Amino acid sequence: MTAVLLIGIGLLSGVISGMGIGGGTVLIPALSIFFSVSQQQAQNINLIYFVPTAVIALITHVKEKNIEGGFLLPIILFGLAGAVAGSMIAIRIDAELLRKLFAGFLFVMGLLEFFKKDSGQA
Instruction: Let me know if residue 120 belongs to a domain.
Output: no
Over 90: is that where the pLDDT of 57 sits? no
In this model, does residue 22 exceed pLDDT 60? yes
pLDDT tens digits, residue range 103-119? 898 899 889 988 888 76
The pLDDT tens digits of the residues spanning 87-104 come to: 899 889 898 898 899 889
Q: What is the mean pLDDT of residues 15-41?
A: 87
Q: Are 11 and 50 in contact (CB under 8 A)?
A: no
Q: What is the pLDDT of residue 61?
A: 84
Residue 31 lies in a domain: yes
Residue 94 is assigned to a structural domain of this protein: yes
**Is 54 or 89 the better-scoring residue by pLDDT?**
89
Q: Residue 120: which region, alpha, beta or left (left: phi > 0; alpha: psi -120 to 50)?
A: left
Cα dist from 60 to 19, 22, 65, whole Å: 10, 15, 9
pTM for the model stands at: 0.69
What percent of the chain stands above pLDDT 70?
97
CB 33 within 8 A of CB 46: no
Helices (DSSP H) in the chain: which residue ranges? 2-18, 24-35, 39-63, 72-92, 95-115
The whole domain housing 58 covers 2-115
* Domain tally, the chain: 1
Residue 68 CA to residue 40 CA, distance in Å, equals 33
Categorize the per-residue pLDDT at 84 as very low, low, confident or very high, splitting at 50, 70 and 90.
very high
Furthest CA-CA distance within the chain? 46
Measured between alpha carbons, how far is 111 from 50 in angstroms, rounded to an integer? Answer: 24
In a domain, 122, yes or no: no
